[in-house]
Amino acid sequence: MCGFLTEFSFNSNITGKSIFTNLLGLSKHRGPDSTEIFSCDHYQLGFNRLAVLDLSENGNQPKYSPSKRYHVVFNGEIYNYKELKTQYKLKNLKSTSDTEVLVHLLDLLGVKDTLNALNGMFAIAVMDVQANTLYLARDFAGIKPLFYGMSSNGLVAASQFNQVFKHPWFKDSLKLRADVIKEYFAFGYMQAPNTIYKNIFQVKPGECIVIKDNETVERFSFNKEIATKEEMLKCFEKNQTKAALMKAVERQLVSDVPLASFLSGGIDSPLITALAKNKKPDLRAFTLSVKDDALDEGAQASLYAKELGINHEIQQVKETDLISEINKHFMFFGEPFGDYSSIPTYLITKKAKEHHTVMLSGDGGDELFFGYPRMLDIVKNRHWFKLPILIRRPLIRLASKLKLNKTWGPFHYKTIGEWVQGKQAYIFKNQLNEFFKDAEFSNEFKELYNFEHANTNKDLILKLRENEFFGHLQRVLVKVDRMSMANSLEVRVPFLDKEVVRETFNRLPETFQSSNDLKKTLKLLMLDFYSSSSINNKKQGFAVPMEKWLKGPLKKEVKTLVFDTAFYGAGLIKTNAIKDYVKDFYANKHEAAWGVWHIYAWQKWAQCEGLIQNNLN
């Protein structure tokens, strides 16, 4: 895992070394082991390395291909690099790193075919020196970040948002986008390909962008075969799922530094841990335990560890330890982000780093295997949307009085897409419209929540998975990447292995009508490793008592940032409506702690990046 910065000048006028070095330094925590910079008259490549495979200097970057045609910086891991080395009979390699396999493949296959061959998590910048063309590519699941900005001077691409918007080509001409800011306030993150600034973007998951001669000449998607194929759809099969996961875990156990597995009290990480223990008997498991019954997963994780007979490390912390890390954890985002589960994620990765450099996680299980109750609620109540809303509402009222209806979503939302959006949003639509003058969501966001063609149960189920995968999961991946990298810790995600996703995207639940159907395949797999009495089928999460914190230790700072500080983006946001919303929270007129946190996190990010100053009065 690493951090990189790329600059491609359209007029042979690169920025000075000190400026470039300082910008690269913003991602030093992502790669503390070595830093290297290459500069010529029209491009620069900078790289901060976290050494995981081949710890020698042979694994350093930037790296040329053997022919010297391609010059590469690459963040992430290619899990099938050994298979590719054998498949393409690569010889004369000087290291055991996946980066060297990558550059050899570029010479052999070219960029497009190389990207299609990769199984991993990655963000890659490839300079084709011969054609004076830059390629930017990001793994199909969006695990690793890749931001870029285009100006008349050239292109800047980087692992962090702030490395781009602080670059001299952009910093004095930043223009905010109201539509993306509105999306952030609702959902707490920036959805690719957009950012809150015009002319600064994110490479979409599974996308490659080709830049030449002052313009983007091509965009193409790779790994298209991962998409659902109607003719191949089948029900989940436990043994095939297990085989795909086992191979994924085996590929992701390769490391030249200490590796362990996160172990929670739920389903996903205990399953990954069990599969990993099967391949690596000396595997260690790691759990963060909070001295608060409402927050703690330690007891359940210990039950799992005992059944596996695994070395289990439990780090105990207090609630005050979490609170004490809040200010520091904001320093590592570099972008607006509003999911406050980032706080325990920061602390658990900080503690894990004390003894390990690589961790396995269970992220992605809910999205791929239908683990969210909200998905079930929508499928069970889709029939209401066959009726016009004016007819639907009185019928829902009547059904509710007769205790025949338990959900009010179809009453409040005109379409299924609006209901899905409402279930995932933390500030509701009516309130958002009070915050923003005329802004709508971006076209890309609208398309993510377009359920117009989900006319059957099957179509709806497939669209819900697609929405969760390219929507909510992206927020989870931002959180885990930024917080783990803040602590120079690599987190691997076996559920998002290319072969696992290919397998699951062409599978459906046999039935999807009750809570027993949520992640049913994974629950059945758990029985191969754990007794039924020990398995916790209730969805587990690391709960944060945010309302208590906002009205307690954080209250003073929240009020300072909202009421006594210039509000970032005030020209696009109705700040009086924002202030009233926060006032009402403290007056106990509503309990929307998530919404208040999104506002606080927005201001906190702007403060950390030097975009606002305190004390208006």
Q: Is 224 helix (H, G, I), strand (E, B) or coil?
A: helix
Residues 6+ apart with CB under 8 A from 444: 191, 192, 193, 194
Distance CA 511, CA 438 (A): 43
Supply the DSSP symbol for 127: E
Does residue 2 carry a catalytic annotation? yes
The list of the chain residues with pLDDT below 50 reads: 616-617
Distance CA 136, CA 204 (A): 10
Distance CA 558, CA 176 (A): 23
- pLDDT given for residue 295 in this prediction: 61
339 is in an annotated binding site: no
Distance CA 439, CA 185 (A): 12
Per-residue CA distances from 339 to 190, 542, 583 (Å): 12, 12, 21
Per-residue CA distances from 203 to 137, 142, 347 (Å): 7, 9, 29
533 is in an annotated binding site: no
- Domains of the chain: residue spans and CATH: 2-226 (3.60.20.10), 230-369+481-526 (3.40.50.620), 377-470 (no CATH), 546-608 (no CATH)
- pLDDT given for residue 213 in this prediction: 81
- pLDDT given for residue 617 in this prediction: 41
Residues in the chain: 617
Distance CA 66, CA 91 (A): 11
Distance CA 17, CA 180 (A): 33
Single-letter residue type at 566: A
Residues 6+ apart with CB under 8 A from 543: 294, 295
Q: Would you call the peptide bond into 553 cis, given omega within 30 degrees of 0 as the criterion?
A: no
45 close to 159: Cβ distance less than 8 angstroms: no
Per-residue CA distances from 422 to 159, 200, 378, 413, 430 (Å): 31, 28, 11, 8, 11
Q: Where are the beta strands (DSSP E) in 203-273?
A: 207-212, 215-221, 234-235, 259-262
On whether the pTM is more than 0.85, the answer is yes
Distance CA 357, CA 456 (A): 46
Single-letter residue type at 233: L
- pLDDT given for residue 542 in this prediction: 63
In 258-313, which residue ranges form alpha helices assigned H by DSSP? 268-279, 298-308
Terminal-residue alpha carbon distance, the chain: 45
pLDDT tens track for 514-543: 999 999 999 999 999 999 888 876 655 567
CB atoms under 10 Å from CB of 566, counted, come to 17
Distance CA 43, CA 128 (A): 11
Supply the DSSP symbol for 519: T
- pLDDT given for residue 437 in this prediction: 82
Q: Would you call the peptide bond into 62 cis, given omega within 30 degrees of 0 as the criterion?
A: yes
Per-residue CA distances from 400 to 243, 337, 412 (Å): 45, 38, 14
173 is in an annotated binding site: no
